[in-house]
Structure 1
Amino acid sequence: MKRRSLQQLRIVCALVLVIFSMSLVLAEGVKEQEVVQKPSNSLTFLSYGAWRVHPGWDEMLKGFEAKYGASVTIIYAPPAQIYNKLVTTLAAKSSELDVIVVDTMWMPSFVSAGFLSPLPEAQIKKEEFLKAAIEAYSKDGKMYAMPQFVVAGFTFYRTDLFEAAGLDPKKPPKNWADLLSYAQKLTIDKNKDGVPEQWGFGYCGLDIGADFLEFMWQNGGNILDAQGNVVVNSPEVVEALQFFVDLRNKYKVVPPSVITDMPEDLRRGFTAGQIAMIRNWPYVWATSNAADSPIKGKVAMIPNPGNKVPTATTFGAWGLAIPEYSQNKELANKFVEYMTSYEGQRILFLSGGEMPSRKAVYDDPAVKAAQPMASVMLEALMGAYNRPMVVENQEVLAIAGRAWQEALSATKTPQKALDDAAAAIKSILKK
Structure 2
Amino acid sequence: MQYINKKLRVAVRKFTPFENALEKIWHSFKVQTNTEFELEYSSMDLTELHQSLFEEGGLQNGSWDIVQLSSDWVSEAFNKGAIEDLAPFIAQNEKEVYLQNWPPSLRRSQTFENKIYGIPFHDGPECMIYRTDLFESEENKAKFKALFAEELEVPKSWGKFLQVATFFSSLQQGFYGTALAAFPDGHNAVYDFCIQAWSRGGVFLRKDNSINIDIPQIVEGLNFYRDFIQSKNSIHPQSKNFDSVRLGQAFANGEIAMMINWFGFAAYAQLEGLPKVKNNVGVCEIPTDGENKSISPNSYWIYSIAKGSQNKHIAYEFISFATNQINDCILTLEGGIGCRLTTYKDEEINRQIPFFNQLEILHSYATELPNLPQWASVAHHIDNLMLQVMNTNTPIELLVKETQKLISNNT
User: What's the secondary structure of 2:371's corresponding residue?
Assistant: coil
Counterpart position of 1:147: 120
How far apart are the structure 2 equivalents of 1:55 and 1:181? 40
- TM-score of the aligned structures, taking structure 2 as reference length: 0.76
Counterpart position of 1:400: 382
User: What's the secondary structure of 2:214's corresponding residue?
Assistant: coil
The one-character-per-residue Cα deviations of 1:43-71 (angstroms, maximum 9, x if unpaired) are 72414376799664445334444555533
Is structure 2 residue 304 aligned with structure 1 residue 321? Answer: yes
Match of 2:41 among 76, 80, 91: 76
Match of 1:116 among 83, 88, 99: 83
Between the aligned residues of both structures, percent identity stands at: 18
Name the CA shift for 1:428/1:209 in 2 (closer, same or farther; >3 Å).
same
Counterpart position of 2:295: 312
The one-character-per-residue Cα deviations of 1:178-229 (angstroms, maximum 9, x if unpaired) are 4244335445388xxxxx9765443234442332322222223244346422
Offset of residue 99 of structure 1? 3.0
Match of 1:280 among 251, 256, 261: 261
How far apart are the structure 1 equivalents of 2:28 and 2:174? 53
The one-character-per-residue Cα deviations of 1:326-364 (angstroms, maximum 9, x if unpaired) are 4454443333222222332122213x1211222331112
Offset of residue 144 of structure 1? 0.8
Counterpart position of 1:165: 140
Structure 1 counterpart of 2:399, which letter? A
User: What's the secondary structure of 1:119's corresponding residue?
Assistant: coil
Residue ranges of structure 2 left out of the alignment (5+ in a row) = 146-150
Is structure 2 residue 164 aligned with structure 1 residue 182? Answer: yes
Asked if structure 2 preserves the Cα contact closer than 8 Å seen for 1:259 and 1:408, the reply is no
222-231 vs 167-176, which moves further:
167-176
Structure 2 counterpart of 1:243, which letter? F
Name the CA shift for 1:215/1:360 in 2 (closer, same or farther; >3 Å).
farther
How far apart are the structure 2 equivalents of 1:267 and 1:334? 33
Asked if structure 2 preserves the Cα contact closer than 8 Å seen for 1:224 and 1:388, the reply is yes
Counterpart position of 1:7: none
How far apart are the structure 2 equivalents of 1:285 and 1:56? 15
Matches within 5 A, 1:14-413: 38=3, 44-48=8-12, 56-65=21-30, 67-80=32-45, 82-87=49-54, 88=56, 90=58, 93-94=61-62, 97-120=64-87, 122=92, 123-124=94-95, 125-162=98-135, 163=137, 164-166=139-141, 171-188=153-170, 199-206=176-183, 207-225=188-206, 227-248=208-229, 254-255=234-235, 257=237, 260-263=240-243, 275-281=256-262, 282-283=264-265, 286-287=268-269, 290=272, 292-307=274-289, 308-350=291-333, 352-409=334-391, 411-413=393-395
The one-character-per-residue Cα deviations of 1:336-395 (angstroms, maximum 9, x if unpaired) are 222222332122213x12112223311122221222120234433443333343344333
Name the CA shift for 1:292/1:406 in 2 (closer, same or farther; >3 Å).
closer
User: What's the secondary structure of 2:209's corresponding residue?
Assistant: coil
Counterpart position of 2:148: none
Name the CA shift for 1:227/1:371 in 2 (closer, same or farther; >3 Å).
farther
User: What's the secondary structure of 1:321's corresponding residue?
Assistant: strand
Offset of residue 110 of structure 1? 2.0
How far apart are the structure 1 equivalents of 2:351 and 2:18? 24
Asked if structure 2 preserves the Cα contact closer than 8 Å seen for 1:304 and 1:380, the reply is no
Offset of residue 90 of structure 1? 4.5
- TM-score of the aligned structures, taking structure 1 as reference length: 0.73
How far apart are the structure 1 equivalents of 2:174 and 2:65? 54
Residue ranges of structure 1 left out of the alignment (5+ in a row) = 1-35, 191-195
Name the CA shift for 1:69/1:299 in 2 (closer, same or farther; >3 Å).
closer
Structure 1 counterpart of 2:81, which letter? G
How far apart are the structure 1 equivalents of 2:22 and 2:81? 29
Asked if structure 1 preserves the Cα contact closer than 8 Å seen for 2:193 and 2:386, the reply is yes
Asked if structure 1 preserves the Cα contact closer than 8 Å seen for 2:196 and 2:221, the reply is yes
How far apart are the structure 1 equivalents of 2:277 and 2:331? 26
Counterpart position of 1:22: none
How far apart are the structure 2 equivalents of 1:100 and 1:358? 20
Q: CA RMSD in A?
A: 3.9
How far apart are the structure 2 equivalents of 1:296 and 1:143? 38
